[in-house]
């Protein structure tokens, strides 16, 4: 062990205005996440009551659409403002997100939303065989954990740039 002291890193200087802007940004992201989830659930349930999905989704499978709507709207409400903030705000360490990169992120979000919607409709079909409570539990696990294997695949395998280690 050495008795020498290590050079200390300079502490980040935070201003009150920076803290307020951060808090407002966080509030916007949380609000869009919650409102997105509520809106998606309302739209999906409205679609099951009206003509488009009324014959496809059984009554005991409606909660599967609620679970799918929460995932779909919550993810959209979370990612959309973060991408838009990333296009506006940047630093030397993390530059602003370009239009092409933002477009790719939003296309990936759209693909995820379509996947969750299809998965929710497929799981809702279990309502024809199982009671409503069991269908809801299956929907929570199916929608909640089905995308995990994809998240564990290294991005290089998908032709995407590697993640930067911090």
What pLDDT was estimated at residue 100? Answer: 87
Q: Which two tokens stand for residue 156?
A: 């290089």
Instruction: Give 37-94 pLDDT, tens digit per residue.
Output: 999 888 888 888 876 667 888 888 888 889 988 988 988 998 898 888 888 877 777 7
Q: Do 47 and 9 meet the contact criterion of CB atoms below 8 Å apart? A: no
Among positive and negative, which fits the CA dihedral 108, 109, 110, 112?
positive
Q: Do 139 and 74 meet the contact criterion of CB atoms below 8 Å apart? A: no
Q: Return the percentage of the chain with pLDDT > 70, whole number.
A: 86
Residue 27 has pLDDT above 60, yes or no: yes
What pLDDT was estimated at residue 45? Answer: 85
Domain definitions of the chain by residue range? 18-90+97-152
- Indicate the average pLDDT of the chain: 83
One DSSP character per residue, 106-126 reads HHHHHHHHHHHHHHHHHHHGG
Between CA 72 and CA 111 the distance in angstroms is 11
Distances (CA, A) of 137 to 87, 131, 147: 38, 10, 17
């Amino acid at each position: 062990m050495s008795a020498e002291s290590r050079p200390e890193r300079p502490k980040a200087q935070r201003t009150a205005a920076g803290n307020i802007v951060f808090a407002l940004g966080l509030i916007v992201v949380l609000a869009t996440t919650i409102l997105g989830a509520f809106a998606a659930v309302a739209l999906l349930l409205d679609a099951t009551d009206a003509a488009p999905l009324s014959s496809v989704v059984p009554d005991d499978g409606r909660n599967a659409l609620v679970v799918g709507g929460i995932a779909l709207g919550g993810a959209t409400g979370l990612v959309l403002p973060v991408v838009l903030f990333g296009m506006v705000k940047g630093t030397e360490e993390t530059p602003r997100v370009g239009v092409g990169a933002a477009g790719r992120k939003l296309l990936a979000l759209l693909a995820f939303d379509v996947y969750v919607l299809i998965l929710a409709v497929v799981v809702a079909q279990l309502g024809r065989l199982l009671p409503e409570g069991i269908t809801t539990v299956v929907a929570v696990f199916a929608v909640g954990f089905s995308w995990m294997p994809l998240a564990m695949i290294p991005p290089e395998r998908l032709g995407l740039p590697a993640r930067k280690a911090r």
